[in-house]
């Protein structure tokens, strides 16, 4: 099968995406597929008609995740010509020559449904959720409304715009501690915990550096879990034990410990898996996703944090660990995602 692995892009999760893409490309190549690894923003000078003529060797290709999110203005400068257009040179033409595009993108313009909608119009098959499910899950404000309407627990919260901050409307928030996060961000970029009004102001200011909408939620004390879902069926629960606040650095520094299957009683396990499956359906997701929860220490009830429609596929990522717990090794997981996605088309 000819597979383009699409990665990179122009979001704060660019480095994570490049690493996910490289791993997926290596895995799918080992499974015997003809794979072309492609940065959706940078593009390539490689002639599209020769993209799958010979197998690429990824053995010497390396990628790493820096301690801080990438400088996207520098990424634009590195591309040079037409820095304002999203799709790089030859990207669409190579994707058209694929049997399917493996979406290894994270964040905006990749996980938010825009590329999925473009590919739908162009008749290009791709992996993962369609444009509607992707858009629902990417916008945390929409996620909150849909999940709460379906009876899924979420922390009490509010949605604010940058204009609300500038006009003083955010002063109405009075519950501390709280979590402030960009409405459409990922990898905890721009996320802060505020213990008081002063920290809340700093958190909002930091959040609005990344986008113009913010979600504020009451802080819930408890254990953090994540559950992968494939075609509506939950994988084993994984617990995330962070060394301090679970921010971008902690996610990819190797300091965070994951336990899979999570060391919880069967009732709690079933409760988390059922909530993940319900969230998957509520958001109209397809093929696979990962749903994150906090287990409230006061009432032992799961509270949903967010849904990830293109979960990370890096060495530190959670979904591959969960799949391995039920005997699905990494290359098999990548091929499973390809086959189930292709069947939808």
Whether residue 237 lies inside any domain: the answer is yes
Whether residue 331 lies inside any domain: the answer is no
> Is residue 21 domain-shared with residue 33, that is, in the same domain?
yes
> Is residue 111 domain-shared with residue 23, that is, in the same domain?
yes
We report the CATH number of the domain holding residue 72 as: 3.40.50.20
Q: What is the dihedral of CA 292, 261, 275, 178, to 10 degrees?
A: -30
Adjacent-strand bridge partners of 258: 240
Please tell me the predicted confidence (pLDDT) of residue 247: 52
Q: Which of 279, 292, 11 is nearest to 136 (CA)?
A: 279
> Is residue 10 domain-shared with residue 82, that is, in the same domain?
yes
Q: What is the pTM of this model?
A: 0.91
> Is residue 47 domain-shared with residue 109, that is, in the same domain?
yes
> Is residue 107 domain-shared with residue 212, that is, in the same domain?
no
pLDDT single digits (tens) 97-154: 999 999 999 988 899 999 999 999 999 999 999 999 999 999 999 999 999 999 999 9
Query: How many structural domains is the chain composed of?
Result: 3
Whether residue 340 lies inside any domain: the answer is no
Q: Which residues contact 13 (CB under 8 A, 6 or more apart)?
A: 69, 106, 107, 186, 187, 189
We report the CATH number of the domain holding residue 212 as: 3.30.1490.20
Q: What is the DSSP string of 137-172?
A: HH-HHHHHHHHHHTT-----EEEEEHHHHHHTGGGG
Could you tell me the two tokens for 343?
């069947």
pLDDT single digits (tens) 110-123: 999 999 999 999 99
> Is residue 24 domain-shared with residue 148, that is, in the same domain?
no
Domain enclosing residue 230, as ranges: 137-154+220-309
Q: How far is CA 132 from the centre of its chain?
A: 15
Confidence of residue 84 (pLDDT cuts 50, 70, 90): low
Q: What is the dihedral of CA 296, 301, 307, 313, to 10 degrees?
A: 70
pLDDT single digits (tens) 199-245: 999 999 999 988 899 999 999 999 999 999 999 999 999 999 987 65
Q: Is the pLDDT of residue 252 over 60?
A: no
Please tell me the predicted confidence (pLDDT) of residue 65: 62
We report the CATH number of the domain holding residue 227 as: 3.30.470.20
């Amino acid at each position: 099968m000819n597979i383009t692995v699409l990665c990179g892009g122009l979001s704060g999760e660019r480095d994570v995406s490049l690493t996910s893409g490289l791993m997926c490309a290596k895995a799918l190549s080992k499974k015997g597929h003809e794979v072309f690894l492609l940065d959706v923003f940078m593009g390539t000078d490689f002639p599209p008609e020769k993209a799958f003529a010979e197998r690429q060797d990824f053995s010497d290709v390396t990628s790493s995740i820096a301690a801080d999110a990438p400088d996207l203005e520098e990424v634009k400068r590195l591309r040079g010509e037409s820095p304002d257009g999203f799709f790089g040179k030859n990207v669409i033409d190579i994707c058209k020559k694929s049997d399917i595009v493996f979406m290894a993108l994270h964040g905006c313009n990749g996980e938010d449904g825009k590329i999925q909608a473009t590919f739908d119009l162009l008749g290009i098959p791709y992996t993962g959720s369609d444009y509607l499910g992707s858009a629902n899950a990417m916008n945390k404000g929409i996620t909150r409304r849909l999940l709460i309407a379906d009876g899924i627990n979420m922390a009490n919260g509010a949605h604010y715009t940058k204009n609300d901050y500038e006009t003083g409307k955010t002063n109405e928030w009075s519950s501390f501690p709280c979590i402030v996060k960009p409405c459409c961000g990922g990898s905890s970029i721009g996320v802060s915990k505020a213990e008081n009004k002063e920290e809340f102001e700093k958190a909002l200011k930091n959040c609005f550096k990344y986008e113009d909408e913010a979600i504020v939620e009451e802080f819930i004390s408890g254990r953090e879990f994540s559950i992968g879902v494939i075609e509506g069926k939950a994988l084993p629960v994984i617990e995330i034990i962070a060394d301090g606040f679970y921010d971008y650095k902690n996610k990819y520094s190797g300091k965070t410990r994951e336990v899979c299957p999570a060391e919880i009683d069967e009732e709690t396990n079933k409760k988390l898996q059922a909530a993940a499956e319900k969230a998957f359906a509520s958001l109209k997701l397809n093929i696979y996703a990962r749903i994150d929860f906090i287990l409230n220490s006061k009432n032992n009830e799961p509270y949903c944090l967010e849904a990830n429609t293109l979960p990370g596929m890096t060495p530190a990522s959670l979904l591959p660990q969960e799949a391995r717990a039920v005997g699905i090794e990494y290359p098999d997981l990548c091929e499973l995602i390809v086959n189930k996605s292709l069947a939808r088309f």
